[in-house]
Amino acid sequence: MTSFDLTGRSAIVTGASTGLGNGIARALAAAGADILMVDRAPREAGIDEIKGKGVRTVSLLADLSRQESIGEIVSTAIREFGKVDILVNNAGIIRRAPAIDFSEKDWDDVMNINTKAVFFLAQAAARDMMKRKYGKIINIASLLSFQGGIIVPSYAASKGAVAQVTKALANEWAQHGITVNAIAPGYMATNNTKALREDPVRSKAILDRIPAGRWGTPDDLQGAAVFLASAASDYVNGHVLVVDGGWLAR
């Protein structure tokens, strides 16, 4: 299974301090990649396990709502590892309020981190990847790339955009040896879904629809992440891979 091996590859993972990004960072490290773990918050978990894998991990505190962070992230990865082979655009936020009351700030904050930063970090990473005609970009989409959700209008808009930007970049950059794919996680137990899991009515309604009968965990994304980060997926491009315990099939 050498096509899944990431030895000698270097990866940037945003939102790597906790949740799905932390699970993805651990998976890429276990497959052999060096990791630049980017987050605006200090690490919650996972670094010791990654260090045990014999790969290098570097942490960078950066706020993706600031455009200046984009260049800093890519230049740090190049300074530390010499190149960027893999970018996982994972960091994201959600704001919940009825559409009729939704504020401009909740619209702009979500769109800036979930969509604008995804595009411009991909652009900055691709400029380095093109030099070697090799790169793997993975954007984290959502079930709300396909569905409208409930009281999360800017989140649904931002994740619909992530799916479309993924395809747009795949079309342009395949000729440069870069694949651009997305993972659409289902309902996963992280800070992002704490409010939903604590609401007994919503929590039951969600669980009732998941054929797997449970919330997903960060570990559930590991296989998809390593696949899309590795040579095993070289002919997969512009795809949104749903990892949802069967939710969309119902």
| Residues binding ligand NAD (CB under 6 A) | 14-15, 17-21, 39-41, 63-65, 90-93, 113, 140, 142, 185, 187-188, 190-193
Q: Which is nearer to ligand NAD, 4 or 146 (CB)?
A: 146
- Kindly state the smallest distance separating residue 218's Cβ from ligand NAD, in Å: 7
The alpha carbon of 19 is separated from its chain's Cα centroid by a whole number of angstroms, namely 10
| Cα separation values, 41 from 15, 45, 105, Å | 8, 12, 21
Which phi and psi (to 5°) does residue 11 adopt? -130, 145
Choice among 134, 155, 187, 235 that is catalytic: 155
- Kindly state the smallest distance separating residue 75's Cβ from ligand NAD, in Å: 16
Crossing angle of helices 117-132/68-81, nearest 10°?
Answer: 30
Cβ pair 152, 187 in contact under 8 A: no
Query: Could you tell me the maximum CA-CA distance found in the chain, to the nearest angstrom?
Result: 52
Q: Which is nearer to ligand NAD, 92 or 153 (CB)?
A: 92
Q: Which is nearer to ligand NAD, 134 or 160 (CB)?
A: 160
- Kindly state the smallest distance separating residue 74's Cβ from ligand NAD, in Å: 14
Which phi and psi (to 5°) does residue 92 adopt? -165, 160
The token pair that represents 220 in the structure block: 């559930």
Q: Is 235 a residue of the active site?
A: no
Cβ pair 138, 201 in contact under 8 A: no
- Kindly state the smallest distance separating residue 118's Cβ from ligand NAD, in Å: 9
Q: Which is nearer to ligand NAD, 12 or 134 (CB)?
A: 12
- Kindly state the smallest distance separating residue 29's Cβ from ligand NAD, in Å: 17
Cβ pair 65, 116 in contact under 8 A: no
Counting every residue written for the chain, the total comes to 250
Burial 25-36 (b: 16+ CB within 10 A, else e): bbbbbbbbbbbb
Q: Which is nearer to ligand NAD, 49 or 234 (CB)?
A: 49
User: What count of other Cβ atoms lies within 10 Å of the Cβ of residue 249?
Assistant: 8
Q: Which residues are catalytic?
A: 155
